[in-house]
Amino acid sequence: MSIFDKLAGFTQARELMALGHYPYFRTIESEQDTEVICDGKRMLMMGSNSYLGLTNHPRILEAAKKAIDKYGSGCAGSRFLNGTLDIHIELEARLAEFVGKEAALSFAAGYMANLGAIQAMVDKDEFIVTDKFDHASIIDGCTLSGGKMLRFNHNNMNHLETVLQKRVAGGNALVVVDGIFSMDGDIADVANICKISKKYDAKVMVDEAHSIGVLHHTGAGASMAAGCTDEVDIIMGTFSKSLASVGGFIAASNDVIHYMKHHSRPLIFSASLPPASAAVVLEALKIIKEEPERIDRLWENTHYMMKNFKAMGFNTGSSCTPVIPLHVGHLMNAFKMWKQLDDEGVFINPVVPPAVPPNDTIIRTSFMATHTRAQLDEALEKFEKIGKRVGVLK
């Protein structure tokens, strides 16, 4: 039997395509903004992670162009060898300052940052303790490390303590959580996670991918918002959301970053961050500092959408951030809502098994500082109409 035999047996995606209910790999023909063009049609973008709306900011575009003029398009090697530029060093110093740590290290993708940090820090006889709702990149980092992964119930501090007390039992452990959980839109209880972890001498890592640019008045994320920057040992972040670029970083003490530079396989054996990507992040950090009103507008839009979704009767779960899931029940409800919203010109993201249980599928919405009230109202009207038509709303 060939390893390719299983390919012929994978029919689910083609079946959805035939039904017109395939929602993935949609082609966008315009810039990532509050409105996009898909197949020549105007769409209200209600599913982007560009929380501060910086991807088409004139200063961002100019920074990328200048970096290409100076450095070219790429580095042609890894950071470990010929791929370290002075702009990488400048960026890492600024990132460390931004999140309140001594040092930082950039990666070519946020996914690689989680893999690189966890793999480097945890050995096969040590423990990684994760929230059951943690991002896939954290889970994959645990697998790459060879460490013993233990999971605690989502945001359940009693269960976290039980795991550390009874299962780790004095072993070396790293507790890893998302700052904002990417599907449910709720916030990790960072303060109590730190308190419980320190009680059992475990180290703490917070993935700030969805919380940078969103939480704390500076946009520094969940750790800063909880007043726990010093207690959180490792902070991870991505560039592909609020920071309008691509890539990721780890911030920690000088000793931790020095160790990662020499032990992180995803860093050592992959090409370094392109110079234009680094320049964009530097400029985005400047804009966030100079235009704090963007974060205020993001939260105004978030509260407005949350209030209206709840008033309509949508179940938004435990969300309290710009990531607002609409729990729509059965799998086909998610596909029907996606298809009909898509037909109405609203771009959203359906989330189906195995990411969620079969009878608790969600429509993942996410909002931007740059959405206008008119755009939000237009979308709300369509959410309500289609929610009633599908039977999600009474």
306: domain CATH number?
A: 3.90.1150.10
Q: Which of 182, 197, 242, 245 is catalytic?
A: 182
Domain range for residue 281? 58-290
Q: Which of 57, 88, 203, 241 is catalytic?
A: 241
Exactly one of 57, 101, 203, 210 is catalytic; name it. Answer: 210
DSSP H or E segment with residue 222: helix 222-225
Query: What confidence score (pLDDT) does residue 313 get?
Result: 97
Return the pLDDT at 13: 87
DSSP state of 281: H
My answer on whether 70 and 156 are in the same domain is: yes
pLDDT, averaged across the chain? 96
Same-domain pairing of 368 and 298: yes
CB count in 10 Å sphere of residue 151: 17
Determine the pLDDT at residue 170.
86
| Same domain, yes or no: 41 and 132 | no
pLDDT in tens, 19-59: 888 889 999 999 999 999 998 999 999 999 999 999 999 99
The sign of the torsion formed by the CA atoms of 102, 122, 239, 365 equals negative
Q: What is the CA radius of gyration of the chain?
A: 21
Share of the chain above pLDDT 70, in %: 100
- What local confidence, expressed as pLDDT, does residue 155 receive? 97
Residues 9 and 119 in one domain: no
Average pLDDT (332-338) is 93
Cis-peptide, bond into residue 358, ω within 30° of zero:
no
Closest CA to 50 of 217, 246, 203, 270: 246
Same domain, yes or no: 317 and 344: yes
Q: pLDDT at residue 151 above 90?
A: yes
Dist CA 169 CA 180 (whole Å): 28
On the question of pLDDT at 1 being above 80, the answer is: no
User: Residue 144 has what pLDDT?
Assistant: 93
Determine the average pLDDT of the residues in 145-170: 96
Q: With CA atoms as reference, report the closest residue to 315 among 375, 132, 324.
A: 324
pLDDT at 168 over 90: yes
Q: What torsion, rounded to 10 degrees, do the Cα atoms 384, 390, 391, 393 define?
A: -10
How far from 200 is each of 122, 193, 217, 302, CA to CA, in Å? 17, 11, 32, 37
- Given this model, what pLDDT does residue 333 score? 93
CATH number at residue 161: 3.40.640.10
Q: Are residues 48 and 106 in the same domain?
A: no
Do both 100 and 230 map to the same domain? yes
Q: Are residues 19 and 147 in the same domain?
A: no
Tell me what the mean pLDDT of segment 269-289 comes to: 97
Residues 243 and 108 reside in one and the same domain:
yes
Predicted pLDDT at 167: 96
Which of 2-11, 134-143, 215-224, 295-304 is predicted with the least confidence, judged by mean pLDDT? Answer: 2-11
Q: Please give the C-alpha separations between residue 269 and each of 76, 90, 177, 317, 392, in angstroms, as whole numbers.
A: 12, 22, 26, 41, 48
Predicted local distance difference test score (pLDDT) of residue 166: 95
Contact, 255 vs 104, CB < 8 A? Answer: no
pLDDT for 9: 85
Told to judge if 210 belongs to the known catalytic residues of this protein, a careful annotator would answer yes
Domain boundary among 290, 312, 334: 290
Q: Which residue has the higher pLDDT, 383 or 13?
A: 383
Number of domains in the chain: 2
pLDDT in tens, 218-227: 999 999 999 9
- Label residue 337 exposed, middle or buried (CB < 10 Å: 0-12, 13-18, 19+): buried
Q: pTM (2 decimals)?
A: 0.96
The answer, yes or no, to whether residue 73 has pLDDT greater than 90, is yes
Please tell me whether residues 253 and 334 are part of one structural domain.
no
Q: Are residues 145 and 178 both part of a single domain? A: yes
Residue 203 shares a structural domain with residue 306: no
The per-residue pLDDT for 5 is 85
Q: State which of 257, 272, 290 marks the end of a domain.
A: 290
241 is catalytic: yes
Quick check: 324 and 362 in contact, CB under 8 A?
no
In this prediction, residue 163 carries a pLDDT of: 98
Helix (H, G, I), strand (E, B) or coil at 209: coil
| Chosen domain end from 290, 311, 344 | 290
pLDDT surpassing 90 at residue 307: yes
